[in-house]
């Protein structure tokens, strides 16, 4: 903001001196305010959720008149660090990013702070102790999402005394949603010893990862009752593995996932998934509001939590025609 104000002031002085020299007054009715420049480092394009999130951010920046410099890190922290350093060099006004993993950000965030460039965390958190390294964090409560998945399971098996064998497809290792969704889920199911996680591995939030890991789970375990996938895409990949093994998803193996993207909702409406906990990717408009405030030096809340719901098979059927992503 300060840098832009100085530029505007200088532009004003130039215009004033041109006018004094008899310049074209028709074009000198006052300096125009410059656009805010936002550098955004995205995780990648690993899932349907991520694609919808990217579209939301790009559309919202356009609508808000914000100049967006967008960089795709292809799920690599080193690429995100490079992108952030490049944004600092380019002297953008605000940096926002969705950190692929939680740890290892302090050095680059300190570089942004030393250069007076405010940072906004989007979608995923970092584990930095120094919270002055960023202005705010907008995104879902991933622990709550994991709890909601666990609560569905507890309700689903409330009348059974048999052991319930669970396979878990985790998100990207070290990422906030993988850590928190596991934590929330295990907190809830841990209250009843009949629930047992018999297999748990990362599928990196991708469809291909979900399929490959589920195939391995099915070879090693003949007695999986439930699949808990940390996102729809891994659940969709796992569907292929389950059907490939001659089993019926949604019946032989019940499936609970997180996200509620259109393909996931279709699988739920078709009876192949049993429950989805929503995680909204439509963060763009709120992010742009925060960018404007942070750029203007206004105080913003430390945490902005996205509002989300859950879907049963019947609710998915009703919601599908209106689903935006
Ligand atoms: O950080 C949000 C998660 O990242 C979404 O649940 C998942 O689909 C994405 O890849």
Beta strands at 94-97 and 254-259: parallel, antiparallel or unpaired = unpaired
Any domain includes 266? yes
Any domain includes 107? yes
Cα of 216 vs centre of ligand 1, distance in Å, is: 23
3-state DSSP assignment of residue 61: helix
User: Is the CB–ligand 1 distance for residue 124 below 6 Å?
Assistant: yes
For 141-169, the DSSP string reads -HHHHHHHHHHHHHHHTTT--S-EEEEEE
Query: Do 159 and 85 reside in the same domain of the chain?
Result: no
d(CA 83, CA 70): 9
Query: Do 183 and 254 reside in the same domain of the chain?
Result: yes
d(CA 250, CA 176): 28
CA 314 to chain centre: 26
Any domain includes 196? yes
d(CA 313, CA 255): 11
Any domain includes 318? no
pLDDT of residue 33: 65
Cα of 107 vs centre of ligand 1, distance in Å, is: 25
Query: Do 76 and 126 reside in the same domain of the chain?
Result: yes
Query: Do 181 and 100 reside in the same domain of the chain?
Result: no
Query: Do 120 and 184 reside in the same domain of the chain?
Result: no
For the chain, count helices (H), then strands (E). 11, 12
User: Is the CB–ligand 1 distance for residue 249 below 6 Å?
Assistant: no
Is 168 exposed, middle or buried (CB count within 10 Å of its CB: 0-12, 13-18, 19+)? buried
Find the distance separating the first CA and the last CA of the chain, reported in whole Å.
Answer: 34
Any domain includes 6? no
The series of mean pLDDT values per 10 residues for the chain, 325 residues long, is 48 40 36 83 98 98 98 98 98 98 98 98 97 98 98 98 98 98 98 98 98 98 98 98 98 98 98 98 98 98 97 98 92
Strands (DSSP E) contained in the chain are: 37-42, 67-72, 94-97, 119-122, 136-139, 164-170, 195-202, 226-229, 254-259, 275-278, 303-305, 310-311
Query: Do 148 and 115 reside in the same domain of the chain?
Result: no
Contacts of 11 (CB under 8 A, 6+ apart): 31
Contacts of 145 (CB under 8 A, 6+ apart): 177, 180, 181, 184, 258, 277, 279, 308
Q: Check residue 174 and give left, alpha or beta (phi > 0: left; psi -120 to 50: alpha).
A: left
Query: Do 265 and 285 reside in the same domain of the chain?
Result: no
pLDDT of residue 28: 37
User: Is the CB–ligand 1 distance for residue 93 below 6 Å?
Assistant: no
Domain that holds residue 250: 142-279
Query: Do 241 and 134 reside in the same domain of the chain?
Result: no
Cα of 66 vs centre of ligand 1, distance in Å, is: 25
Query: Do 273 and 168 reside in the same domain of the chain?
Result: yes
Query: Do 46 and 129 reside in the same domain of the chain?
Result: yes
pLDDT of residue 76: 97
pLDDT of residue 4: 55
Query: Do 61 and 156 reside in the same domain of the chain?
Result: no
Question: Which residues sit opposite 136 in a β-bridge?
Answer: 120
Any domain includes 16? no
Query: Do 108 and 181 reside in the same domain of the chain?
Result: no
Any domain includes 106? yes
pLDDT of residue 3: 52
Total domain count, the chain:
2
Any domain includes 27? no
Any idea what the CATH number is for the domain that residue 249 is in? 3.40.50.2300
Cα of 301 vs centre of ligand 1, distance in Å, is: 23
User: Is the CB–ligand 1 distance for residue 145 below 6 Å?
Assistant: no
Q: Please provide the size of the chain in residues.
A: 325
User: Is the CB–ligand 1 distance for residue 207 below 6 Å?
Assistant: no
Cα of 231 vs centre of ligand 1, distance in Å, is: 6
Q: Which two tokens stand for residue 69?
A: 């410099």
d(CA 233, CA 213): 13
């Amino acid at each position: 903001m300060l840098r832009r104000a100085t530029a505007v002031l200088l532009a004003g002085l130039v215009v004033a001196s041109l006018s004094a020299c008899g310049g074209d007054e028709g074009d000198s009715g006052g300096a125009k305010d410059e656009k805010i420049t936002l550098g955004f480092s995205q995780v990648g394009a690993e899932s349907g959720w991520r694609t919808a999130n990217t579209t939301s951010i790009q559309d919202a920046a356009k609508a808000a008149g914000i100049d967006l410099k967008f960089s795709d890190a292809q799920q690599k922290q080193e690429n995100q660090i490079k992108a952030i350093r490049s944004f600092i060099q380019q002297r953008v006004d605000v940096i926002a990013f969705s950190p692929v993993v939680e740890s290892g950000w302090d050095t680059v965030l300190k570089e942004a702070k030393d250069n007076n460039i405010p940072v906004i965390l989007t979608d995923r958190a970092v584990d930095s102790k120094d919270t002055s390294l960023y202005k705010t964090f907008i995104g879902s409560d991933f622990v709550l999402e994991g709890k909601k998945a666990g609560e569905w399971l507890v309700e689903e098996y409330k009348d059974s005394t048999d052991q319930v064998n669970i396979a878990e497809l985790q998100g990207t290792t070290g990422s906030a949603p993988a850590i928190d969704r596991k934590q929330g889920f295990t907190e809830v199911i841990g209250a009843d010893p009949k629930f047992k996680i018999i297999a748990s591995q990362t599928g990196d939030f991708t469809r291909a990862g979900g399929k490959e890991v589920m195939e391995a789970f099915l070879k090693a375990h003949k007695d999986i009752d439930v699949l808990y996938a940390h996102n729809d895409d891994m659940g969709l990949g796992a569907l292929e593995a389950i059907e490939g093994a001659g089993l019926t998803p949604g019946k032989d193996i019940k499936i609970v996932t997180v996200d509620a993207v259109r393909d996931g909702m279709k699988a739920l409406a078709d009876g192949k998934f049993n429950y989805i906990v929503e995680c909204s990717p439509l963060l763009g408009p709120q992010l742009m509001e925060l960018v404007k405030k942070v750029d203007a030096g206004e105080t913003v809340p430390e945490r902005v939590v996205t509002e989300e719901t859950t879907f049963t098979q019947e609710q998915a059927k009703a919601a599908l025609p209106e689903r935006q992503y």
